[in-house]
Structure 1
Amino acid sequence: MKKYLVILFSLFCFLPVVMNAEVKSMNLVEALKDEGIESDIDYEENDNQTTIYFFRTKGESKSVDFLKYLDSIYARYGKFFKVRSFEVSGNEDNMLLMKNTFDYLRTDVNTTPFIVIGSTYFITYKEDINENIEKAFIEYYQSGSTVDTIDEVLTRYYRNDTLIMTVFLSMIILIPVFIIVMVIKNKIENKKNTEN
């Protein structure tokens, strides 16, 4: 009987576990300040704005350039977007989120800066993609779309309620099945012992 309890316990140890990550993001003003970039923008966020997700490495020139670009266009386009910046060099959970996002998007590249707007993404930053970035967040804003790649990644990899329910239901099913099997096995063994 003890052997079977050990087996049952081992099965529960191998059931999927939901990750509890400490993903930390910064808005545009916080990211600018973190990089030592002075700004006087009057930054505001609301639920209707397009979220620009931005994975960056602190101090990296292209990441700094992208933040400066966002700062420079905020007066003109700020009503369209808000920023969630994930610094990956000093935060393992942010790095894992970036890697999971690359996995979700099925891309082989794994570098910063990495910019995600809705279902559109940009790997690295150069000035010649500014127009594409502006087009992406304006079109996303105007479409009213709710597609959010990072939210999908967070749901799939971090807080999947379906996974939690599957684990819970697995436990509910496995325990009674285990007990029934043990009762039947004991009855068979007792019957054999009484016949001998």
Structure 2
Amino acid sequence: MSNGRPARYARGRERRDELISAAIAVIAERGIERVTFRAVADRAGFPASTTSYFFSSVDEVIDAAITRVAETITGNVADLLETARSGEMTRDELAESLIELVAGQDNDDSVAQFEAYLAVRRRPELAEPVHRIMASIEEAAEKALESFGVADPSIPAKQFLALIDGFTLQEIARPGRPESRRALSDLMTRILDSYAK
């Protein structure tokens, strides 16, 4: 006879995931410094004590939220790398794919990402997931650039990362401006052309 443990475990895992999603939303809405157990539980629609049942500290909640954002971005990067390695992308499609990689994120993820970037100076424990986000985007740019014949893609990949981050910040502040996206795409293809063989 089943003792119900697998079902309880699954429900617990689901509830923990909902709390992490709620923490990302709180970070996006209020900033990292305003994350509390109560704020996360309220956002998830759970009783106030729920967050402390699953997490031992507010820092652990924040780390789980930023790690989730990093994992989401890393997963999207893996998809882009697979397409770039297939050799089926044009340079314009590469630029669009890199833009979509960040612009296509859930807005809460984007805002939480940049909240974490800024918070690293005050919270060094966030450096690992933040650096993982940056490294994954940079790696995607490097691999994609290699497929277009760029011999040493490390410098242009860093340039692409800086451009994409700047675009994402502008998109957060002034969303839905197609001219910004066109300008970024144009600059990225110019950079690609300047380095391609």
Query: Larger relative contact order (C-alpha < 8 A, sep ≥ 6)?
Result: 1
More strand by share: 1
TM-score range relative to shorter protein = under 0.3
Compare CA radii of gyration and give the structure with the larger one: 1
Provide TM-score, normalisation by structure 1. 0.23
Give the structure with the larger helix fraction: 2
